[in-house]
Amino acid sequence: MSAAPIRFSGMLAIYQAEMARTVRTLWQSVATPVVTTALYFVVFGGAIGSRMQQVGGVEYGSFIVPGLIMLSLLGQSVSNASIAIYFPKFTGTIFEILSAPVSYGEAVVGYVGAAASKSVMIGLIILATATLCVPVRIMHPAWMVAFLLLTSIAFSLFGFIIGIWAKNFEQLAIIPSLVITPLTFLGGAFYSIDMLPPVWRTVSLFNPVVYLVSGFRWSFYGAGDVSVEVSLAATLFFILACLGVLKWIFRTGYRLKA
């Protein structure tokens, strides 16, 4: 039996609907994370940067730029994707999506694609803003774009899973606030894990965000806490793990059809 044809019209309709929601809530979707990140930049870059001139041969203000972008990228990817699928569940319109002539894979591509696009857009805006404040050089622009896209896709998939899992708004917010943000702060966003004592550096290597931040920072300055190959492998593994969970969810109907 031949595989069902891919319906690009269905994916495009979901994608356009989600992007249109971003336009309607432009201030919340774009301006808020940019302003929040700018405050982080002022506080950490100004307060700590005056006492810590360089990290790994890079000016501290420039050093934290990839970490600030990643901090916003992870939070926005999870938030955008989880809200996108949770609201159809909350309002009951999820059944219209499940009964529409759109496969589960096409629906995931539409929702996750829109969430990742919004996150990448915010990340690029933050990068452009940072270049006005500190000198930023990108030694490997192709790798920078690759890590930007892969990280956005990975955590948009993760957010999509959270949106399906959540039964209420409290559960929807608990993972980003109590898991993603702490892991990002402890993942070398504002420091190098090489600055930690050996024991805590070893503990940090169990934090998956370390590999994302390290690979992204390597694309800027050619140096990271772990090798770029390991960072790339960890990112791809996370994507594959999320896809595996989503395949199980759609096969079993977990919290979709109840």
CB atoms within 10 A of CB 13: 15
Residue 1 has a pLDDT of 38
Residue 2 included in any domain = no
Assess whether pLDDT exceeds 70 at residue 139: yes
Residue 257 included in any domain = no
Assess whether pLDDT exceeds 90 at residue 62: no
3-state secondary structure of 258: coil
What type of residue is 37?
Answer: T
Structural domain boundaries, residue 91: 8-252
Q: Is 149 exposed, middle or buried (0-12, 13-18, 19+ CB in 10 A)?
A: middle
CA angle 249/118/148 to nearest 5° reads 85
Least confident range from 131-135, 152-156, 157-161, 233-237: namely 131-135
Integer angstrom CA distances of residue 202 from 55, 62, 199:
20, 26, 5
Euclidean distance between CA atoms 9 and 195, whole angstroms: 50
**Confidence band of 257 (pLDDT split at 50, 70, 90):** low
Residue of 50 and 12 predicted with greater confidence: 12
Euclidean distance between CA atoms 167 and 89, whole angstroms: 9
In DSSP notation, 108-119 reads HHHHHHHHHHHH
Residue 54 included in any domain = yes
Q: Give the H/E segment covering residue 208.
A: helix 208-221
Are 158 and 241 contacting, i.e. CB atoms less than 8 angstroms apart?
no
Q: Tokens representing 183?
A: 């892991």
Are 100 and 180 contacting, i.e. CB atoms less than 8 angstroms apart?
no
What average pLDDT does the chain have?
87
Stretch 33-62: mean pLDDT:
76
Beta bridge partners of 58: 55
Report which DSSP code applies to 59: E
Please say whether the dihedral angle defined by the alpha carbons of residues 92, 112, 3 and 245, taken in this order, is positive or negative. Answer: negative
Residue 258 included in any domain = no
Residue 46 has a pLDDT of 67
Residue 238 included in any domain = yes
- Cα 159 to the chain's mean position, in Å? 9
Virtual CA dihedral for 48, 50, 208, 249, nearest 10 degrees? 70
Residue 221 has a pLDDT of 93
Q: Tokens representing 172?
A: 């929807």
Are 175 and 78 contacting, i.e. CB atoms less than 8 angstroms apart?
yes
Residue of 49 and 66 predicted with greater confidence: 66
Residue 1 included in any domain = no
What are the phi and psi torsion angles at 229 (to 5°)?
-65, -40
Residue 71 included in any domain = yes
- pLDDT tens digits for range 82-135: 999 998 888 888 878 877 778 888 889 999 999 999 999 999 988 988 888 788
Residue 3 included in any domain = no
The share of the chain scoring above pLDDT 70, in percent, equals 93
- pLDDT tens digits for range 182-228: 898 889 988 899 888 999 899 999 999 999 999 999 999 998 899 99
Residue of 50 and 61 predicted with greater confidence: 61
Domain count, the chain: 1
